[in-house]
Structure 1
Amino acid sequence: MSKRKFSTTRDILRFEGHDRAAYWRRFAMLLTLSAVIATMGMLRDSGAVVIAAMLVAPLMTPILGIAASMVMGWLGRAFKLALIVSGAAVICVFLAWFLVYIADVPRGILIPDQVLARTDPGTEDLIVALAAGVAGAYVQINRSEVSLLPGAAIGVSLVPPLSASGVLMYFEEAAEAYEAGLLFATNLGAIILSACAVYIVYAARSVVFSKGRRKLNFTASVVVTLAFLTFVVIQLGKSTYNRYLETRTEAQLAQTIRDWADPVSVEIIRVDVNAQRKQADIWLIVDLPIEAAFKVSSIAGLLPESLRENPLVDVLRNELGPGYLVVVRFQNRIGAQVILGTENVQQAPDVEEISEDN
């Protein structure tokens, strides 16, 4: 191994420098700042602030240190760093919960989109994390490419999922908090595995493929990492499959509602299906005929006869099956088309036809 490679390897393995206490103090400070920024950014629903938290987060370095220690067969150091990262993750979750608690955010309000964005991990997140791990390890080895490190930090999400988990625990959304934690676990395992591959390719082939205790330690650590990732992938596979089912069901449900209303104009505002919980949330607006504006009657009496004969509830039951909890937000409006300057008043065209013309 050349002098330069030896120096680079030593810097990667001993990233704390000569004063470890000072490094870990800085680590604690930056981790706290990152958790605070991420939590406040999520509460304000600001993506820019959350990105700032990604840049401040110091977790990438010790995670890459775990990978480097595994490759070199230093299981004791790898285990110690893994404990530090796990402890830091728990602290981030608790800190986020505490910040929301101190802010006394009402539990009845809608959860911000920036929080919910971290509750739907899938296999695509695993691919992103693998690529980010390669980028981070590559930057460590090739110091001339250090400008790429912020991009790797933004590409993989470490502190924001932990903060989202803490916020969701405050809102008593345990299932969503677990999903946010799963996103962090996905990133953690994928970064370690892909960084190991980069270190092996660039500098550590002689260590990994040599005989002796180091090779045995490396093999054991990789097996543990793969087992962890296998568990994560199984969970991600379930989430991805559920999301596919939900997307397909939502599209079919929207078309079923249009078919039910036809030829009456209906505008579908929202269709949200949760296959795992067997819940559906539907928002739609039905255009009443012009004559309804001159009638004094119940809402049901104002509806077109075709919609009264075939209730929407029956249509939804046929599409989703029994056992679903469906919330329907149904709103009526008068749809009219007026030719200005004349007394010609007609029924308004279908909402979809107007959208297609525009």
Structure 2
Amino acid sequence: MSEHLFGGEQTPNQDSGEDVKKDFKGLLGSVRKFLSELLEIRTNTDAAATKESIIADIPFKGHTSWILICSIFIASIGLNANSTAVVIGAMLISPLMGPILGMGLSLAINDIDTLRRSLKNFTVMVVLSVITAFLFFYLFPLRDESSELLARTKPDIRDVLIAFFGGLSLVIARAKKGTIASVIFGVAIATALMPPLCTVGFGLAIGKLEYAWGAMYLFIINTMFIGLATFLVIKFLRFPMVRYANSQRRRLIARVASITGIAVMIPAGFTFYQVFQESLFKKQAQEFLKDTIEVYQFNESGRYVDNLTKIEFVDDGTSLIELVCMGDELIPENIINTWRVQKNEFSRLKDADFRVLQGGRDDSEEKFNYVSELYEKNKVELLNKDEQIRLLEEEVASLTKNAGKQIPFKNISDEAKANYENIVGLGFSYQIQTDFNKLDTVPVFEVKWKEGIQKNQKEADTKKMVAWLKLRLQDSTLVVKKVE
């Protein structure tokens, strides 16, 4: 009795509570096991084959050099022609990825010889690519600033993420037993190493160094983050380190590799931070514009030109938000001052310079460029509208012509009933006829006569009705048909 009262035996509630805990732990264990089997990649990794294949792609001579030159020409032509498909083809055949993977691998396994070869071949590839692109754009007569080219001059946070995750997927695919070729092709397209180098050559050829620097910055971002992803994956997969007979040399090389790896990771981290800050600035700037100028109502001929809006981020400097408005109507200064106050409510826009170019104070060249760009963008639509207008004009002309032939059918039918006692029905319609030289629209009357009247009488009445209708309607083309 006392044992029962003071908890000597477990109650049913205690039993059920422990069962729930056991079931929960079992569930967690099952989920953990499932996830480990789903995401585990070490067991299916072929370290030796992966290392061998990456090192085999590093050399740059003979066939590889000609493939690079051809891919540069293809990419340059595609960028010049604004053809995305051609640019994608150039990315697929470009051999630039080999030395970048070699650098990441060598840093991860302390292979100083492979690192040296990778750096040398990578430098030669980059220099040759830029020179080839420069010569193409310098000598080629057509050098339009296409959207494909300009898209490679201003990298943002998305380019960083694409390069990093593209590098991760590429190394994971290369490390798997039985390499996944589709992943390699996909990463070549996504990371787009070749187009930025072509854009560098384009910028140098036309003398716009800001284009060249922006494109080279994008290429450096891609290179650093692909190499960083390679380094991290190789470390995670625990590839065996290169061993040296001399212990002192082994320690020295390990330190050099570690320092080099850190030296790459620090600018990569700094680049990520800088690009991330720029993305946040532009996001707040877009929100600011959405709350101000985009909802402002012009009363007369004013217009906000969003295509000419400048949003420039300057790290540790004065960033810029510049609006352009066209037309004679000016935005009042008190409204602009109110916008400046609203701008300061955004944390990243407080120190940015805010300008509004409007009316006669804006740049006439920018106006011309905007109108030209707008016309080119809408050229096809304008041509389609011209064709529609032409068809509508032809239709209106046809309707106007037919309107002159409109038949007062009610009056005609009443007069026919009064003049012809044998008529019992009258129909009318327009019929299109041709002699294969021209088309014409002919008014056609269908007459139904009483049954039982003689054939001669019917023909005489029909002939008389044709003469009367032609005279009555002043139309010699009309036709009268008998309905039997």
Match of 1:79 among 107, 116, 133: 116
For 2:4, the equivalent position in structure 1 comes to: none
Q: Deviations over 1:250-295 (max 9, x none)?
A: 4355326x33x14x587655343323384746466x7xxxxxxxxx
Matches within 5 A, 1:1-358: 5=46, 7-16=48-57, 24-105=61-142, 111-142=145-176, 143-204=178-239, 206-207=240-241, 213=251, 215-237=254-276, 239-244=278-283, 246-248=285-287, 250-252=289-291, 254-255=293-294, 258-259=296-297, 261-262=298-299, 264=300, 268=304, 270-276=306-312, 278=320, 280=322, 282=324, 307=329, 311-312=330-331, 314=333, 318=337, 319=339, 326-327=362-363, 329=367
Q: Deviations over 1:180-200 (max 9, x none)?
A: 111110110101111111112
Structure 1 residues 30, 313: closer, same or farther in 2, change over 3 A?
farther
Once residues 253 and 275 of structure 1 are traced to their aligned partners in structure 2, the CA distance between those partners, rounded to angstroms, is: 15
TM-score (norm 2): 0.53
Is the partner of 2:46 in helix, strand or coil? Answer: helix
Q: Deviations over 1:73-131 (max 9, x none)?
A: 1223213312321332222222212111111336xx5x110011111211221111111
Most deviating of 193-202 and 243-252: 243-252
How many corresponding residue pairs?
296
Amino acid at match of 2:62: R
2:167–2:226 Cα contact (<8 Å) kept = yes
Once residues 316 and 174 of structure 1 are traced to their aligned partners in structure 2, the CA distance between those partners, rounded to angstroms, is: 38
TM-score (norm 1): 0.70
Q: Deviations over 1:230-263 (max 9, x none)?
A: 343354245434533553454355326x33x14x
2:47–2:175 Cα contact (<8 Å) kept = no
Once residues 202 and 323 of structure 2 are traced to their aligned partners in structure 1, the CA distance between those partners, rounded to angstroms, is: 23
Q: Which of these two proteins has the greater Rg computed from alpha carbons?
A: 2
Once residues 78 and 206 of structure 2 are traced to their aligned partners in structure 1, the CA distance between those partners, rounded to angstroms, is: 17
Amino acid at match of 1:275: I
Once residues 315 and 54 of structure 1 are traced to their aligned partners in structure 2, the CA distance between those partners, rounded to angstroms, is: 52
Amino acid at match of 1:178: W
Structure 1 residues 133, 196: closer, same or farther in 2, change over 3 A?
same
1:12–1:68 Cα contact (<8 Å) kept = no
Among all aligned residue pairs of Structure 1 and Structure 2, give the percentage whose two residues are the same amino acid. Answer: 20
Q: Deviations over 1:298-317 (max 9, x none)?
A: xx6xxxxxx4xxx2485796
RMSD: 3.5
Once residues 308 and 262 of structure 2 are traced to their aligned partners in structure 1, the CA distance between those partners, rounded to angstroms, is: 40
1:254–1:271 Cα contact (<8 Å) kept = no
Is the partner of 1:275 in helix, strand or coil? Answer: strand
Structure 1 residues 314, 28: closer, same or farther in 2, change over 3 A?
farther
1:15–1:65 Cα contact (<8 Å) kept = no
For 1:355, the equivalent position in structure 2 comes to: none
Structure 1 residues 283, 6: closer, same or farther in 2, change over 3 A?
same
Is the partner of 2:241 in helix, strand or coil? Answer: helix
Is the partner of 1:53 in helix, strand or coil? Answer: helix
Question: C-alpha displacement at 1:9, in angstroms?
Answer: 4.2
5+ residue gaps, structure 2: 1-41, 313-318, 341-352, 372-484
1:13–1:69 Cα contact (<8 Å) kept = no
Amino acid at match of 2:66: M
For 1:294, the equivalent position in structure 2 comes to: none
Q: Which has the higher contact order (CA 8 A, sep 6+)?
A: 1
